[in-house]
Amino acid sequence: MDICSMTALELGEKIRHRELSAAEAVRAYLARTEAAEPEINSFVTVDAEGALRRAQEVQKGIDEGIFSGPLAGVPVAVKDNLCTRGLLTTCSSKILSDFKPTFSAQAVRNLEKEGAIVIGKTNMDEFAMGSTTETSYYGVTRNPWNTSHVPGGSSGGSCAAVAAEECPFALGSDTGGSIRQPSSFCGVVGIKPTYGTVSRYGLIAYGSSLDQVGPIARSVSDCAAVLEVIASHDKKDSTSIRREDYDFTRALTGDVKGMRIGIPKDYFGEGLDSEVKEHILHAVKKLKEEGAVVEEFDLSLVQYAIPAYYVIASAEASSNLARFDGVKYGYRAGNCDGLHQMYKKTRSEGFGAEVKRRIMLGSFVLSAGYYDACYLKALRTKALIKQAFDSAFERYDIIVAPSAPTTAPKIGKSLSDPLKMYLGDIYTVSVNLAGLPGITVPVGQDKKGLPIGMQLIGNCFEEKKIIRAAYAVEQMCEYKAPKLCGELKNSAGGKSTCREGGRQVWRDSMRQ
Amino acid sequence: MANKISDETIEYVGILAKLELSGEEKENAKADMERMLDYIDTLNELDTEGTEPMSHVFPVYNVFREDIAENGDGSGDTLANAPLVKEQGFKVPKTIG
């Protein structure tokens, strides 16, 4: 029985039925992580000591009947922009290299209330700004399918960790595709919920009107079960929404008979890799055979989504990241003459190039003289994009799209041309602008052996429809694990990582 | 099209962004921003006359509650994150010359 290749729900069931203890599950994943990390670098921090301690508490809770849910005793990896009380939370930035939050994000709290066990914090593009996980201060994360390729981003660490079986599931965040695109590149499932579904309390903000927390796992069922736990109305997040339904697992039927599926022609034209296109359309054909009604249509405005997105996201980022000033937490530059110079020097030394680029752009588009022409224009464009989706959803239950134009690029090929990298987000950013839910589900691999993901987009609050269709797709395209997973089995473990000057250092933890 | 960013503009944006850029970083930032603005100009092809700017997809309301403390005194933990502390406060460099 290989614990690490189980899904979260399978593992939870074994723990519930006392076939496995929570500590055994945690130890198995720590061992796998220790073996995989030199190759993959999914984690910024592995908290072996805390996870093993927590496993004892959770086991007691399971034995006493306090924890009885499907995720009790199941390990989870959390993206490093979600606050975890007392556990290093860096946003993969130098500026937060020693920040230990005094509270946990609501999504993390919801998981802990159900007995899930946080084993560590995953690598990401610095402050979630990027599509490759190459802008992290703590080194690149490598794609478990081929370690010379990127895992995608910005939740690249979470997706790589799930694919490499370093954890059964993980949390990510999605501002412009940061869950769906890396899920596609790593061959796993990821959901970006309707805006407001998961509380943003404790999520270190990038673009507040676009950010959503969501689950990443190796099955649609796991993602639905995790979403059911993390979604909640939260008065600590003023944009949190009280939904009518939270029972997402009820949609795991695979029944797509009569479901109306729209294929936006503008998403399948120029710029889309032919192998990606072929695999997605093949999956669509299978849905049709299962009784779905498929139709092509013109979504329109597609070419305006990226410029509108970068104006809005950068504007919000420039405001949100103003809090990092070296006063109350994080890095502070030395030898400063006066307060103002300390702010400037701290930020200039603490932020990486991509973060500075977006703060500069955001400050510019919000400045007097450009506010109307850039920022308000982008918000008007957003309104039109939302209208285009509204009218599409009058005719269709779901929309099918690629998650990205290509499979994962090679490490080192993307950052030199930021604009080209931004264009890779073409199929994902509109969903954030319109607040819609989206899911990525694997549909195969290209000739190089890299995974291809298919994106299913739903109308606001209609997660169940995309989960239903994604579950059907999953039944047709069986989950495959990267070869690496087989090679990594059977190692001992129980070490934690710490960081010294950005370098990953492993140290022995308490072994049980 | 073909936006030009002057030295003064990049200087001004640096002040707004509270970033101190080196000479080389400034030149890179100028080139980057010019390219991004050219790209953002494609939005001008779109007629948005009569469309209201949409900041949030759903209506956003202020959320009020009674002014009663719901959490304990976390000042010790909070100060533990501070780069410099003095007498239960955050210590900063000289603010007035």
Query: Could you tell me which chain A residue has the CA closest to the CA of B45?
Result: A304
**Interatomic CA distance for residues A275 and A279, integer angstroms:** 6
Q: How large is the angle between the packed helices B23-40 and B7-17, nearest 10 degrees?
A: 100
Identify the CA nearest to A376 among candidates A301, A310, A312, A300. A312
Q: Contact B46/A460, CB-based, under 8 Å?
A: no
Q: What pLDDT sits at residue A480?
A: 85
E-strand stretches of chain B: 85-86, 89-90
**A154: annotated active-site residue:** yes
The ipTM of this complex is 0.95
Half-sphere exposure of B46 (CA within 13 A, CB side): 27
Of B37, B44, B51, the CB nearest to A383: B51
- CA-only gyration radius of chain B, Å: 23
pLDDT at B70 over 90: no
Q: What pLDDT sits at residue A509?
A: 65
Residues 462-481 of A with CB under 8 A from B: none
Q: Would B79 be classed as within a structural domain?
A: no
Query: Could you tell me which chain B residue has the CA closest to the CA of A326?
Result: B83
**Interatomic CA distance for residues A182 and A438, integer angstroms:** 13
Q: What pLDDT sits at residue B62?
A: 84
Q: Contact A419/B36, CB-based, under 8 Å?
A: yes
Q: Would B37 be classed as within a structural domain?
A: yes
Using a 10 angstrom Cβ sphere, with 0-12 exposed, 13-18 middle and 19 or more buried, the burial of residue B90 is middle
Tell me the nearest-neighbour CA distance from A464 into chain B, angstroms.
20
The SS3 call for residue A373 is helix
Q: Would B29 be classed as within a structural domain?
A: yes
**A79: annotated active-site residue:** yes
**Interatomic CA distance for residues A267 and A426, integer angstroms:** 9
Contact with chain A for residue B2, Cβ under 8 A: no
pTM: 0.96
**Interatomic CA distance for residues B2 and B12, integer angstroms:** 20
**Geometric angle at alpha carbon A341, from A335 and A342, rounded to 5°:** 60
Sheet holding A189-192, edge to edge: A43-46, A117-122, A75-79, A169-174, A212-217, A189-192, A438-445, A451-458, A398-402, A260-264, A293-297
Cβ neighbours of residue A492 closer than 8 Å, sequence gap 6 or more: A31, A34
Q: Would B27 be classed as within a structural domain?
A: yes
Number of structural domains found in chain B: 1
Q: Would B81 be classed as within a structural domain?
A: no
Q: Find the Cα–Cα–Cα–Cα dihedral A277, A279, A280, A286, rounded to 10°.
A: 140
The domains of chain A, with CATH numbers, are 3-299+387-485 (3.90.1300.10)
Q: Contact B42/A304, CB-based, under 8 Å?
A: yes
Tell me the nearest-neighbour CA distance from B23 into chain A, angstroms.
13
Q: Would B23 be classed as within a structural domain?
A: yes
Contact assessment for residue A154 and residue A131, using Cβ atoms and an 8 Å cutoff: yes
Contacts of B78 in chain A (CB under 8 A): 102, 328
Contact assessment for residue B2 and residue B38, using Cβ atoms and an 8 Å cutoff: yes
Q: Would B96 be classed as within a structural domain?
A: no
Contacts of B42 in chain A (CB under 8 A): 303-304, 307
Beta bridge partner(s), residue A217:
A169, A189
Say which CATH number the domain at B35 has.
1.10.20
Residues found in chain A = 512
Q: What pLDDT sits at residue A512?
A: 40
Query: Could you tell me which chain B residue has the CA closest to the CA of A310?
Result: B40
Q: Contact B21/A356, CB-based, under 8 Å?
A: yes
The SS3 call for residue A309 is helix
Contact with chain A for residue B31, Cβ under 8 A: no
**Interatomic CA distance for residues A44 and A210, integer angstroms:** 25
The ranges of chain A with pLDDT < 70 are 490-493, 500-503, 509-512
Q: Find the Cα–Cα–Cα–Cα dihedral A198, A203, A209, A213, rounded to 10°.
A: -40
In this structure, which amino acid lies at residue A277?
Answer: K
Beta bridge partner(s), residue A77:
A120, A170
Contact with chain A for residue B4, Cβ under 8 A: no
Contacts of B62 in chain A (CB under 8 A): 238
Q: Contact A357/B19, CB-based, under 8 Å?
A: no
Q: Would B38 be classed as within a structural domain?
A: yes
**Residue pairs between chains A and B whose CB atoms are closer than 8 Å:** 162
Contact with chain A for residue B91, Cβ under 8 A: no
**A319: annotated active-site residue:** no
State the residue range of the domain holding B13: 7-45
Of A304, A342, A348, the CB nearest to B19: A348
Contact assessment for residue A104 and residue A116, using Cβ atoms and an 8 Å cutoff: no
